[in-house]
Structure 1
Amino acid sequence: MSENRLSIILKPAFLLLALSLFTACKTGERNKSFQGICGTVIFKSGNHMPGPSRPQPKGQPVVRDVLIYELTKIDQTEATDDGFYSKIKTKLVKQVKSGKDGQFCVSLPPGSYSVFVREEKGFYANLSDGQNNIYPVTVEKDRRSTITVDITYQAVF
Protein backbone atom coordinates (compact mmCIF):
# COMPACT_ATOMS: atom_id res chain seq x y z
CA MET A 1 0.00 0.00 0.00
CA SER A 2 1.39 3.39 -0.86
CA GLU A 3 2.18 5.92 1.85
CA ASN A 4 -0.46 8.28 0.44
CA ARG A 5 -3.24 5.66 0.73
CA LEU A 6 -2.16 4.75 4.25
CA SER A 7 -2.26 8.43 5.18
CA ILE A 8 -5.81 8.75 3.80
CA ILE A 9 -6.96 5.82 5.94
CA LEU A 10 -5.08 6.68 9.13
CA LYS A 11 -5.75 10.44 9.33
CA PRO A 12 -9.55 10.11 9.75
CA ALA A 13 -9.06 7.25 12.23
CA PHE A 14 -6.61 9.35 14.23
CA LEU A 15 -8.97 12.34 14.18
CA LEU A 16 -11.86 10.15 15.33
CA LEU A 17 -9.74 8.76 18.19
CA ALA A 18 -8.60 12.24 19.23
CA LEU A 19 -12.18 13.55 19.12
CA SER A 20 -13.49 10.69 21.25
CA LEU A 21 -10.73 11.24 23.84
CA PHE A 22 -11.50 14.97 23.92
CA THR A 23 -15.23 14.25 24.35
CA ALA A 24 -14.49 11.75 27.14
CA CYS A 25 -12.44 14.38 28.97
CA LYS A 26 -15.21 16.96 28.63
CA THR A 27 -17.83 14.44 29.82
CA GLY A 28 -15.63 13.58 32.80
CA GLU A 29 -15.49 17.24 33.72
CA ARG A 30 -19.28 17.46 33.75
CA ASN A 31 -19.56 14.35 35.92
CA LYS A 32 -17.36 15.66 38.73
CA SER A 33 -18.85 14.89 42.11
CA PHE A 34 -21.62 17.18 43.27
CA GLN A 35 -22.51 17.66 46.90
CA GLY A 36 -26.05 18.72 47.66
CA ILE A 37 -29.67 18.04 46.78
CA CYS A 38 -31.11 17.56 43.31
CA GLY A 39 -34.68 16.71 42.57
CA THR A 40 -37.93 17.20 40.74
CA VAL A 41 -41.05 19.05 41.89
CA ILE A 42 -44.27 17.33 40.77
CA PHE A 43 -47.82 18.68 41.21
CA LYS A 44 -50.51 16.01 41.59
CA SER A 45 -54.24 16.66 41.56
CA GLY A 46 -57.41 14.64 41.13
CA ASN A 47 -58.03 10.96 41.73
CA HIS A 48 -54.92 8.86 42.41
CA MET A 49 -56.79 5.93 43.95
CA PRO A 50 -55.51 2.61 42.63
CA GLY A 51 -57.94 0.53 40.65
CA PRO A 52 -58.05 -2.35 38.21
CA SER A 53 -56.98 -1.40 34.70
CA ARG A 54 -56.56 2.19 35.85
CA PRO A 55 -53.16 3.73 35.14
CA GLN A 56 -51.72 5.83 37.95
CA PRO A 57 -51.45 9.53 37.00
CA LYS A 58 -47.88 10.79 37.25
CA GLY A 59 -48.51 14.47 37.94
CA GLN A 60 -46.99 17.47 36.23
CA PRO A 61 -43.51 18.95 36.72
CA VAL A 62 -43.86 22.53 37.98
CA VAL A 63 -41.84 25.68 38.58
CA ARG A 64 -41.65 26.40 42.32
CA ASP A 65 -39.40 28.04 44.87
CA VAL A 66 -37.65 25.21 46.72
CA LEU A 67 -36.53 26.25 50.19
CA ILE A 68 -33.85 24.39 52.12
CA TYR A 69 -33.94 24.96 55.87
CA GLU A 70 -31.88 23.62 58.73
CA LEU A 71 -33.43 20.32 59.83
CA THR A 72 -36.84 21.38 61.16
CA LYS A 73 -39.12 19.59 63.60
CA ILE A 74 -42.88 20.07 63.48
CA ASP A 75 -42.81 22.02 66.79
CA GLN A 76 -40.40 24.52 65.16
CA THR A 77 -43.12 25.67 62.79
CA GLU A 78 -46.61 27.04 62.79
CA ALA A 79 -48.57 24.39 60.94
CA THR A 80 -51.88 25.14 59.29
CA ASP A 81 -53.41 22.17 57.43
CA ASP A 82 -52.82 19.68 54.61
CA GLY A 83 -49.01 19.89 54.84
CA PHE A 84 -48.88 23.70 54.95
CA TYR A 85 -46.81 25.80 57.32
CA SER A 86 -47.24 29.53 57.84
CA LYS A 87 -43.98 30.08 59.70
CA ILE A 88 -40.70 28.16 59.92
CA LYS A 89 -38.57 29.05 62.94
CA THR A 90 -35.30 27.46 61.76
CA LYS A 91 -32.73 29.14 59.51
CA LEU A 92 -33.26 29.29 55.74
CA VAL A 93 -30.06 27.83 54.26
CA LYS A 94 -30.70 28.16 50.52
CA GLN A 95 -33.46 28.83 48.04
CA VAL A 96 -33.62 27.74 44.41
CA LYS A 97 -36.32 27.71 41.71
CA SER A 98 -37.20 24.53 39.86
CA GLY A 99 -37.24 24.73 36.07
CA LYS A 100 -40.17 24.12 33.71
CA ASP A 101 -39.22 20.45 33.87
CA GLY A 102 -39.59 20.61 37.67
CA GLN A 103 -35.90 19.94 38.20
CA PHE A 104 -33.60 21.72 40.62
CA CYS A 105 -30.14 21.30 42.11
CA VAL A 106 -28.64 23.08 45.10
CA SER A 107 -25.10 22.75 46.42
CA LEU A 108 -24.93 22.28 50.20
CA PRO A 109 -22.40 21.36 52.88
CA PRO A 110 -22.80 17.95 54.54
CA GLY A 111 -25.65 17.92 57.02
CA SER A 112 -29.36 17.31 57.49
CA TYR A 113 -31.94 19.65 56.02
CA SER A 114 -35.69 20.12 55.61
CA VAL A 115 -37.15 20.80 52.16
CA PHE A 116 -40.23 22.96 51.55
CA VAL A 117 -41.84 24.46 48.44
CA ARG A 118 -43.62 27.80 48.40
CA GLU A 119 -47.31 27.68 47.49
CA GLU A 120 -49.98 30.41 47.70
CA LYS A 121 -51.25 29.00 51.02
CA GLY A 122 -47.75 28.92 52.57
CA PHE A 123 -44.78 26.61 52.82
CA TYR A 124 -45.59 23.05 51.78
CA ALA A 125 -44.02 19.75 52.83
CA ASN A 126 -45.98 16.53 53.16
CA LEU A 127 -43.34 14.16 54.58
CA SER A 128 -41.93 13.63 58.05
CA ASP A 129 -39.88 10.96 59.78
CA GLY A 130 -40.33 9.15 63.11
CA GLN A 131 -38.57 11.97 64.98
CA ASN A 132 -41.04 14.63 63.69
CA ASN A 133 -38.50 16.11 61.24
CA ILE A 134 -40.24 17.69 58.25
CA TYR A 135 -39.12 16.40 54.82
CA PRO A 136 -35.64 15.44 56.07
CA VAL A 137 -32.80 15.07 53.56
CA THR A 138 -29.23 14.21 54.51
CA VAL A 139 -26.33 15.46 52.40
CA GLU A 140 -23.12 13.45 52.65
CA LYS A 141 -19.64 14.62 51.65
CA ASP A 142 -19.17 14.52 47.86
CA ARG A 143 -22.62 12.92 47.38
CA ARG A 144 -25.81 13.96 45.62
CA SER A 145 -29.10 13.34 47.42
CA THR A 146 -31.89 12.89 44.87
CA ILE A 147 -35.50 13.55 45.85
CA THR A 148 -38.94 14.00 44.33
CA VAL A 149 -41.11 16.64 45.96
CA ASP A 150 -44.73 15.64 45.39
CA ILE A 151 -47.22 18.47 45.92
CA THR A 152 -50.37 16.49 46.69
CA TYR A 153 -52.82 18.73 48.54
CA GLN A 154 -55.23 18.66 45.57
CA ALA A 155 -54.95 14.90 45.07
CA VAL A 156 -56.98 12.04 46.51
CA PHE A 157 -55.21 8.78 47.38
Structure 2
Amino acid sequence: MKAASSILALLFHVLLLTGCNKEEDEAAPNQWVNNTEELTQQNKKKVSITQGITGTLTLIEGNCMPIIGPNSTCKEYPIKRKIVIYPYTTLQEANRHDFLYYTLDAKPVVTVESDAEGFYQAKLTPGTYSVFIQENGKLYANGLDGQGGINPVRVEEDMVVSFNLRLDYAVY
Protein backbone atom coordinates (compact mmCIF):
# COMPACT_ATOMS: atom_id res chain seq x y z
CA MET A 1 0.00 0.00 0.00
CA LYS A 2 2.86 2.36 0.84
CA ALA A 3 4.46 1.71 -2.58
CA ALA A 4 1.18 2.52 -4.34
CA SER A 5 0.84 5.84 -2.54
CA SER A 6 4.48 6.69 -3.35
CA ILE A 7 3.86 5.95 -7.03
CA LEU A 8 0.73 8.10 -6.98
CA ALA A 9 2.63 10.96 -5.33
CA LEU A 10 5.40 10.70 -7.93
CA LEU A 11 2.86 10.61 -10.76
CA PHE A 12 1.11 13.70 -9.34
CA HIS A 13 4.38 15.67 -9.27
CA VAL A 14 5.33 14.61 -12.81
CA LEU A 15 1.90 15.71 -14.07
CA LEU A 16 2.12 18.95 -12.13
CA LEU A 17 5.53 19.79 -13.58
CA THR A 18 4.74 18.79 -17.16
CA GLY A 19 1.14 20.00 -17.26
CA CYS A 20 1.91 23.61 -16.40
CA ASN A 21 3.79 24.64 -19.50
CA LYS A 22 3.12 28.35 -19.37
CA GLU A 23 4.79 30.76 -21.73
CA GLU A 24 7.75 32.67 -20.39
CA ASP A 25 6.73 36.06 -19.03
CA GLU A 26 8.80 39.13 -18.49
CA ALA A 27 9.14 39.87 -14.80
CA ALA A 28 5.97 41.47 -13.55
CA PRO A 29 6.38 45.00 -12.29
CA ASN A 30 6.65 44.56 -8.52
CA GLN A 31 3.98 47.16 -7.79
CA TRP A 32 1.37 44.97 -9.50
CA VAL A 33 2.08 41.57 -7.89
CA ASN A 34 -1.03 40.74 -5.84
CA ASN A 35 -2.30 44.30 -6.36
CA THR A 36 -4.80 43.57 -9.09
CA GLU A 37 -7.58 45.82 -7.81
CA GLU A 38 -5.45 48.95 -8.15
CA LEU A 39 -4.09 47.69 -11.49
CA THR A 40 -7.62 47.21 -12.82
CA GLN A 41 -8.55 50.75 -11.76
CA GLN A 42 -5.48 52.15 -13.53
CA ASN A 43 -6.23 50.16 -16.68
CA LYS A 44 -9.78 51.56 -16.82
CA LYS A 45 -8.20 54.95 -17.55
CA LYS A 46 -6.75 53.55 -20.80
CA VAL A 47 -10.11 52.74 -22.42
CA SER A 48 -10.45 54.48 -25.78
CA ILE A 49 -13.41 52.62 -27.31
CA THR A 50 -17.11 53.39 -26.96
CA GLN A 51 -18.43 49.91 -27.68
CA GLY A 52 -16.93 46.47 -27.03
CA ILE A 53 -15.03 44.83 -24.20
CA THR A 54 -12.07 45.86 -22.11
CA GLY A 55 -10.28 44.37 -19.15
CA THR A 56 -7.14 43.26 -17.40
CA LEU A 57 -5.43 39.91 -17.98
CA THR A 58 -3.55 38.44 -15.04
CA LEU A 59 -1.72 35.21 -14.34
CA ILE A 60 -2.06 33.51 -10.95
CA GLU A 61 0.50 30.93 -9.87
CA GLY A 62 2.03 29.26 -6.85
CA ASN A 63 0.48 27.56 -3.86
CA CYS A 64 -2.75 29.45 -3.20
CA MET A 65 -3.97 27.16 -0.43
CA PRO A 66 -4.88 29.04 2.73
CA ILE A 67 -1.59 29.38 4.62
CA ILE A 68 -1.07 30.92 8.02
CA GLY A 69 1.97 33.13 8.04
CA PRO A 70 4.14 34.76 5.36
CA ASN A 71 5.11 31.55 3.49
CA SER A 72 2.54 31.71 0.67
CA THR A 73 3.96 31.43 -2.84
CA CYS A 74 0.66 32.56 -4.37
CA LYS A 75 1.03 35.54 -6.67
CA GLU A 76 -1.07 37.23 -9.31
CA TYR A 77 0.30 39.70 -11.83
CA PRO A 78 -0.45 41.18 -15.28
CA ILE A 79 0.79 39.45 -18.44
CA LYS A 80 0.94 40.00 -22.19
CA ARG A 81 -1.01 37.51 -24.30
CA LYS A 82 -3.23 37.42 -27.36
CA ILE A 83 -6.94 37.60 -26.55
CA VAL A 84 -9.00 35.82 -29.21
CA ILE A 85 -12.71 36.63 -29.43
CA TYR A 86 -15.09 34.22 -31.17
CA PRO A 87 -18.82 34.24 -31.77
CA TYR A 88 -20.65 32.81 -28.74
CA THR A 89 -19.47 29.19 -28.49
CA THR A 90 -20.80 26.35 -26.35
CA LEU A 91 -19.03 23.25 -25.07
CA GLN A 92 -20.89 21.21 -27.69
CA GLU A 93 -19.32 23.32 -30.47
CA ALA A 94 -15.74 23.07 -29.18
CA ASN A 95 -13.17 20.34 -28.80
CA ARG A 96 -11.77 20.35 -25.28
CA HIS A 97 -8.22 19.29 -24.45
CA ASP A 98 -6.64 19.10 -20.99
CA PHE A 99 -9.90 20.35 -19.41
CA LEU A 100 -9.35 24.07 -20.12
CA TYR A 101 -7.90 24.24 -23.64
CA TYR A 102 -10.06 24.31 -26.73
CA THR A 103 -9.93 24.12 -30.50
CA LEU A 104 -12.77 25.62 -32.49
CA ASP A 105 -14.00 25.26 -36.04
CA ALA A 106 -15.32 28.85 -36.09
CA LYS A 107 -13.30 31.83 -37.25
CA PRO A 108 -12.34 34.45 -34.65
CA VAL A 109 -14.13 37.80 -34.75
CA VAL A 110 -11.07 39.73 -33.57
CA THR A 111 -7.69 39.15 -31.93
CA VAL A 112 -6.05 41.74 -29.68
CA GLU A 113 -3.03 41.69 -27.38
CA SER A 114 -2.83 42.76 -23.77
CA ASP A 115 -0.07 45.20 -22.83
CA ALA A 116 2.56 44.82 -20.08
CA GLU A 117 -0.05 45.83 -17.47
CA GLY A 118 -2.49 43.22 -18.79
CA PHE A 119 -4.78 45.84 -20.36
CA TYR A 120 -6.73 44.91 -23.47
CA GLN A 121 -9.70 46.28 -25.38
CA ALA A 122 -11.65 45.11 -28.40
CA LYS A 123 -14.15 47.11 -30.42
CA LEU A 124 -17.16 44.85 -31.12
CA THR A 125 -20.63 45.16 -32.60
CA PRO A 126 -23.60 44.28 -30.37
CA GLY A 127 -23.83 40.55 -29.72
CA THR A 128 -22.65 37.73 -27.51
CA TYR A 129 -19.09 36.45 -27.76
CA SER A 130 -16.74 33.86 -26.25
CA VAL A 131 -13.37 35.17 -25.07
CA PHE A 132 -10.20 33.04 -25.04
CA ILE A 133 -6.57 33.56 -24.02
CA GLN A 134 -4.02 32.18 -26.45
CA GLU A 135 -1.55 30.09 -24.46
CA ASN A 136 1.11 27.82 -25.97
CA GLY A 137 -0.75 27.77 -29.29
CA LYS A 138 -4.01 26.70 -27.62
CA LEU A 139 -7.15 28.56 -26.57
CA TYR A 140 -7.61 28.81 -22.79
CA ALA A 141 -10.89 29.64 -21.08
CA ASN A 142 -12.02 28.93 -17.53
CA GLY A 143 -15.58 30.27 -17.42
CA LEU A 144 -18.97 28.93 -18.47
CA ASP A 145 -22.54 30.22 -18.38
CA GLY A 146 -25.62 28.15 -17.49
CA GLN A 147 -26.11 27.08 -21.12
CA GLY A 148 -22.58 25.73 -21.62
CA GLY A 149 -21.31 28.94 -23.25
CA ILE A 150 -17.54 29.32 -22.91
CA ASN A 151 -16.29 32.57 -21.30
CA PRO A 152 -19.31 34.50 -22.59
CA VAL A 153 -19.68 38.26 -22.74
CA ARG A 154 -22.61 40.28 -24.11
CA VAL A 155 -22.04 43.63 -25.81
CA GLU A 156 -24.92 46.05 -26.34
CA GLU A 157 -25.17 49.24 -28.39
CA ASP A 158 -22.91 52.07 -27.09
CA MET A 159 -21.70 49.92 -24.21
CA VAL A 160 -18.20 49.00 -23.01
CA VAL A 161 -18.19 45.82 -20.94
CA SER A 162 -15.47 45.25 -18.34
CA PHE A 163 -14.32 41.63 -18.68
CA ASN A 164 -11.22 40.74 -16.66
CA LEU A 165 -9.41 37.52 -17.53
CA ARG A 166 -7.24 35.24 -15.42
CA LEU A 167 -4.81 32.59 -16.64
CA ASP A 168 -4.65 30.17 -13.72
CA TYR A 169 -1.61 27.99 -12.97
CA ALA A 170 -2.11 28.01 -9.19
CA VAL A 171 -2.49 25.06 -6.84
CA TYR A 172 -5.53 25.26 -4.55
- What's the TM-score bracket when you normalise by the shorter of the two chains? 0.7 to 0.9
CA RMSD across the alignment: 2.2
1:36/1:139 contact within 8 Å kept: yes
The code of the aligned residue for 1:111 comes to: G
1:84/1:121 contact within 8 Å kept: no
> What is the aligned partner in structure 2 of residue 133 from structure 1?
149
2:62/2:75 contact within 8 Å kept: no
**Structure 1 residues 82 and 109, CA, compared in 2 at 3 Å: closer, same or farther?**
same
Q: What pairs with 1:95-114 in structure 2 (closer than 5 Å)?
A: 95-114=111-130
**Structure 1 residues 71 and 101, CA, compared in 2 at 3 Å: closer, same or farther?**
same
Q: Secondary structure at the match of 1:75?
A: helix
The offset of 1:120, in angstroms, is 0.7
Is structure 2 residue 171 aligned with structure 1 residue 156?
yes
The 1-side partners of 2:143 and 2:81 are apart by 17
Q: Secondary structure at the match of 1:92?
A: coil
> What is the aligned partner in structure 2 of residue 62 from structure 1?
79
User: Who wins on radius of gyration, i.e. which is larger?
Assistant: 1
**Structure 1 residues 45 and 33, CA, compared in 2 at 3 Å: closer, same or farther?**
closer
The offset of 1:33, in angstroms, is 6.8
The offset of 1:127, in angstroms, is 0.6
Q: 1:33-81 CA deviation, whole Å, 9 max, x = no partner?
A: 7110001111111111234456794511110000000000011111101
The 2-side partners of 1:70 and 1:31 are apart by 22
The aligned length equals: 126
Superposed structure 1 runs of 4+ greater than 2 Å apart: 30-33, 50-58
TM-score of the aligned structures, taking structure 1 as reference length: 0.72
1:46/1:156 contact within 8 Å kept: yes
The 2-side partners of 1:137 and 1:84 are apart by 18
2:55/2:165 contact within 8 Å kept: yes
The offset of 1:121, in angstroms, is 5.3
The code of the aligned residue for 2:158 comes to: D
1:145 to 155, 161, 172: 161
Is structure 2 residue 94 aligned with structure 1 residue 74?
no
Question: Structure 2: where are the runs of 5+ without partners?
Answer: 1-45
Which is richer in strand? 1
2:83/2:132 contact within 8 Å kept: yes
Q: Secondary structure at the match of 2:142?
A: coil
TM-score of the aligned structures, taking structure 2 as reference length: 0.66
1:117 to 114, 130, 133: 133
2:62/2:73 contact within 8 Å kept: no
1:66/1:96 contact within 8 Å kept: yes
